[in-house]
């Protein structure tokens, strides 16, 4: 077996090389984009995790890092109870590491790390349109774990270019010291959903889990004095960016006409290659009894406050089965679908969740 590629855990000294791999691995399509991590790879990768490990594939002939993957441990709700579960993310391979045994050998190295016994399985997401990755990971090749699909997750892109007005009649205000009530509301909602995050109150204000997050951007919907819904806006551009790296031939032709239409409608433009798509994330989403009007009021208030300030989109992530999806769909101009998988090795006796609870992942930490 070839020993050209070796695998190890990354350290802080590898930060620059890791960021280079991320910059060079775009998600191709009509609009090709790269999910860039500047100025620190590790700041972005540690979001929402209580432990994080970055796996490196290194070409021993050149000394170049040609692949990366992330293994982290998160505290989430499983069947209504807080539990430590693994999360796999940021799998990237440069062209010289594709097509051979590097991927399988990387998963063997991952299994060595998995032998610490801290979690029994992992969850992960793969964009629906990323057919190449889905086919490889679902193939069940020898040495690779099993990817079990458990649901669909949608990320809604809500435009923020045009200044919007607040139209809801429900009371929505910014959080003003009632963190215990806010925390109780969204944790009750999270507890009814599968793989939703578990956060302590103190982690909302000063935590490595949530860098650059401020409770000043947390919105609360009230019924008299009771908190019945929450939604926060998290600007992560100081450490996470989405960069357009190319357009298909067809999109190059269409782009000038689309941009003319977008200007008239107050929608985000298709930017030049190399430019950022400036987005903010919705997080801490909750709505008592899954009330669409509560969620809609929160989303409308957030959009009214954040539109016309130079941002392109507010990103809201919901399970495709969510009762709140119709509201997000009405506000959005685009919807990105992902498959959610549970990942485990078949020869291990793993008890996977069996309940039919609706999924809810924190899109801001994926």
- Whether residue 248 lies inside any domain: the answer is no
- Residue 145 shares a structural domain with residue 168: no
What local confidence, expressed as pLDDT, does residue 166 receive? 66
- Whether residue 356 lies inside any domain: the answer is no
- Residue 165 shares a structural domain with residue 140: no
Instruction: Let me know: does 18 contact 88? Beta carbons within 8 Å.
Output: no
**49 Cα distance to chain centroid:** 12
- Whether residue 245 lies inside any domain: the answer is no
- Whether residue 260 lies inside any domain: the answer is no
What local confidence, expressed as pLDDT, does residue 356 receive? 85
Q: How far apart are CA 34 and CA 244, in angstroms?
A: 7
Q: What is the DSSP string of 196-225?
A: -B---GGGGTS-TTSTT--GGGEEEEEETT
- Residue 47 shares a structural domain with residue 23: yes
Q: What angle do CA 31, 99, 25 make, to 5 degrees?
A: 30
User: Which run of H or of E encompasses 43?
Assistant: helix 41-45
User: Which run of H or of E encompasses 108?
Assistant: helix 102-114
What local confidence, expressed as pLDDT, does residue 269 receive? 94
- Whether residue 27 lies inside any domain: the answer is yes
- Whether residue 353 lies inside any domain: the answer is no
- Residue 330 shares a structural domain with residue 342: no
Query: How many other C-beta atoms can be found within 10 angstroms of the C-beta atom of residue 232?
Result: 27
- Residue 103 shares a structural domain with residue 46: yes
- Residue 148 shares a structural domain with residue 176: no
What local confidence, expressed as pLDDT, does residue 167 receive? 65
Query: For residues 224 and 120, which has the higher predicted lDDT (pLDDT)?
Result: 120
Q: How far apart are CA 319 and CA 123, in angstroms?
A: 14
- Residue 171 shares a structural domain with residue 88: no
Mean pLDDT of 22-51: 92
| Residue 342 DSSP SS3 | strand
Q: What is the pLDDT of residues 168-212, one digit of tens each?
A: 678 899 988 789 999 999 999 999 999 999 999 999 887 788 999
pLDDT class for 94, splitting at 50, 70, 90? very high
- Whether residue 111 lies inside any domain: the answer is yes
What local confidence, expressed as pLDDT, does residue 252 receive? 96
Q: How far apart are CA 214 and CA 207, in angstroms?
A: 10
Q: How far apart are CA 78 and CA 85, in angstroms?
A: 9
Q: What is the pLDDT of residues 337-349, one digit of tens each?
A: 999 999 999 889 8
Structural domain count, the chain = 2
> Could you tell me what percent of the chain has a pLDDT over 90?
79
What local confidence, expressed as pLDDT, does residue 2 receive? 57
Q: How far apart are CA 159 and CA 314, in angstroms?
A: 7
What local confidence, expressed as pLDDT, does residue 162 receive? 78
- Indicate the average pLDDT of the chain: 92
In this structure, what DSSP letter does residue 194 have? B
- Residue 329 shares a structural domain with residue 342: no
- Residue 168 shares a structural domain with residue 123: no
pLDDT exceeds cutoff 90 at 101: no
Mean pLDDT of 113-131: 93
- Whether residue 258 lies inside any domain: the answer is no
Backbone angles phi, psi at 201, to 5 degrees: -55, -45
Q: How far apart are CA 288 and CA 275, in angstroms?
A: 39
pLDDT exceeds cutoff 50 at 1: no
Q: What is the pLDDT of residues 57-75, one digit of tens each?
A: 999 999 999 999 999 999 9
- Residue 139 shares a structural domain with residue 226: no
Highest mean predicted confidence (pLDDT) among 100-104, 156-160, 206-210, 211-215: 156-160
Query: For residues 320 and 205, which has the higher predicted lDDT (pLDDT)?
Result: 320
Q: Which residues contact 102 (CB under 8 A, 6 or more apart)?
A: 5, 57, 66, 67, 93
* CATH code where residue 198 lies: 3.40.630.30
- Residue 29 shares a structural domain with residue 133: yes
Mean pLDDT of 142-163: 91
Mean pLDDT of 280-301: 96
Determine the structural domain holding residue 57 and report its residue range.
5-152+338-346
Mean pLDDT of 19-40: 92
- Residue 147 shares a structural domain with residue 174: no
pLDDT class for 165, splitting at 50, 70, 90? low
Instruction: Let me know: does 335 contact 329? Beta carbons within 8 Å.
Output: yes
């Amino acid at each position: 077996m070839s020993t050209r590629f070796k695998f190890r855990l990354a350290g802080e000294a590898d930060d620059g090389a890791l960021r280079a791999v991320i910059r060079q691995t775009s998600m191709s399509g009509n609009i090709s984009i790269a999910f860039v991590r500047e100025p620190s790879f590790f700041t972005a990768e540690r979001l929402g995790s209580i432990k994080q490990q970055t796996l490196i594939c290194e070409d021993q002939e050149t000394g170049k890092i040609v692949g990366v993957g992330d293994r982290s441990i998160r505290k989430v709700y499983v069947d209504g109870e807080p539990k430590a579960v693994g999360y796999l993310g940021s799998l990237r391979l440069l062209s010289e590491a594709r097509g051979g045994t590097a991927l399988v050998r990387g998963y063997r190295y991952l299994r060595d790390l998995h032998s610490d016994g801290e979690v029994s399985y992992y969850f992960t997401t793969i964009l629906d349109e990323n057919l190449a990755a889905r086919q490889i990971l679902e193939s069940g090749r020898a040495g690779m774990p099993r990817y079990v699909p458990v649901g669909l997750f949608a990320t809604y892109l809500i435009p923020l270019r045009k200044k919007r007005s607040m139209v809801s009649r429900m009371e929505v205000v910014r959080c003003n010291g009632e963190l215990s009530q806010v925390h109780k509301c969204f944790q009750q909602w999270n507890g009814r959903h599968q793989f939703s995050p578990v956060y302590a109150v103190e982690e909302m204000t000063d935590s490595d889990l949530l860098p650059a997050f401020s409770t000043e951007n947390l919105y609360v919907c009230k019924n008299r004095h009771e908190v019945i819904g929450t939604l926060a806006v998290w600007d992560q551009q100081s450490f996470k960016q989405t960069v357009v790296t190319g357009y298909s031939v067809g999109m190059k032709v269409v782009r000038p006409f689309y941009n003319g239409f977008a200007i008239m409608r107050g929608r985000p433009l298709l930017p030049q290659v190399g430019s950022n798509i400036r987005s903010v994330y919705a997080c801490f989403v909750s709505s008592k009894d899954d009330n669409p009007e509560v969620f809609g009021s929160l989303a409308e208030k957030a959009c009214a406050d954040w539109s016309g300030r130079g941002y392109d989109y507010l990103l809201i992530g919901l399970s495709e089965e969510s009762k709140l999806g119709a509201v997000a769909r009405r506000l959005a101009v685009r919807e990105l679908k992902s498959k959610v998988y549970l990942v485990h090795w078949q020869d291990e006796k793993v008890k996977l969740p069996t309940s039919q609870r609706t999924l809810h992942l924190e899109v801001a930490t994926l």
